[in-house]
Amino acid sequence: MPPKEVYFDLENSGYVPDDVVDVMLPYFNKRGYGHPAITHRLGWEALDLIIGTKELVAKTLNLANPENLVFTHSGTEANNLAIQGYLIANRDKLRGKKVLVSSIEHLSVIFPAQFVSELLGLEVIKVPVDKEGFVDPEVLKYYVDRDVGLVSIQLVNHEIGTIQKLRDLIEVVRDRNPDVVFHTDASDAYGRVRIDLRDLDVDMMTLSSHKIHGPRGVGVLYVRDGVRIEPILRGQLSVEKLWPGVELTPLIAGFRKAVELAFNNFEENVKYLTSLRDKLLNGILNSVSDVVLNGPSGDERAPDNVNVAFKYVEGEALTIELSGYGVYVSSGSACSSRFLEPSHVLLAIGREYELAHGSILFKVSRYHKGEDIDYALEVLPKAVDRLRTLSPLTPRRA
């Protein structure tokens, strides 16, 4: 066993704190485990939980009507419901139109957009980003015309932490074509970046439980009044008209607790995350040579995100090497790392294949301590140096 374990692989999945687990347990066997659409006490308890959780989430988003929120079983499902559900429901008026997504969107946005567009005869256009992952409003303006029906651009990128200037991008879209429906995947923003739906003029927005240390198995989709969505699953309707099936009430209970923990002392939490991020990033840059930062720096970067490329090192090998020390990270894209393909996000910002393959993603959390960062900075140079001595790509000094 390694002397210490530090888990930074929060992009893929995260641990669930005891406070959240303790809240979930009674909903498995003591209360609220009934079907929330059935009229008996246990069903009513489950329904109360769902309503109360939506009210809490709506409050954190400055959303007046909690009924605009839909529970799914993951952020991926919420993205699919948004993209497929909108395109299918409006297929008659959208036939021959265009769908715009940024070139660094999560694959749960890109893939369903491509899938449905092929079926309906739509064109999917990937809007390019700059070297830090930003969509330039002037570039977006070039792509938006009367033939665009749907736009999806993340608030925060899941790999390189770019915080888009989304309000500016929405204004460009509305000015060029007020009929466009705008979706944003805010899964990596929620709990780390303040979101105000009264100010952020989006039509649909995705959230994910496990991104804020809630349990896996809960996603949320916000749908503005008047936006027509077609369910993409068919079955017996329950509380959620757009997502049939029995709601996962124990997991929703855990998500509710995770929301409470994330938004209690929100500003202090973000400040703490930022301090850990900067300590880790600066420590890496000062202790390891030939390192390149992926994405922006400072306030334009998500407070939990550190993504760096190590020259002359293969990312998968470094992931394995660090795990031997008890430090757990992810390499390249969390969605494609097992296939050893370079991250589409890193390629989109102009990284060469070698640098993309040598990139490592760390995500810090409020459950990390300074000593965790110290330990990572102690073992990381050792791991990198050992792999570089084995690599034929490492420059040899005379």
265's tokens: 């002392």
- What DSSP character marks residue 345? H
Supply the residues annotated as catalytic. 335
Cα R_g (the chain), whole angstroms = 22
Measured on CA atoms in the order 8, 74, 202, 108, is the torsion positive or negative? positive
Integer CA distances (angstroms), 161 to 136, 312, 390, in order: 16, 24, 31
- What DSSP character marks residue 217? S
Q: Closest Cα to residue 176, out of 152, 202, 146?
A: 146
Q: Closest Cα to residue 210, out of 254, 170, 245?
A: 254
- What DSSP character marks residue 368? -
Other CB atoms closer than 10 Å to residue 392's CB: what's the count? 6
DSSP for 288-328, written as a single string = SSSEEE-S--GGGB-TTEEEEEETT--HHHHHHHHHHTTEE
Other CB atoms closer than 10 Å to residue 370's CB: what's the count? 10
Other CB atoms closer than 10 Å to residue 191's CB: what's the count? 28
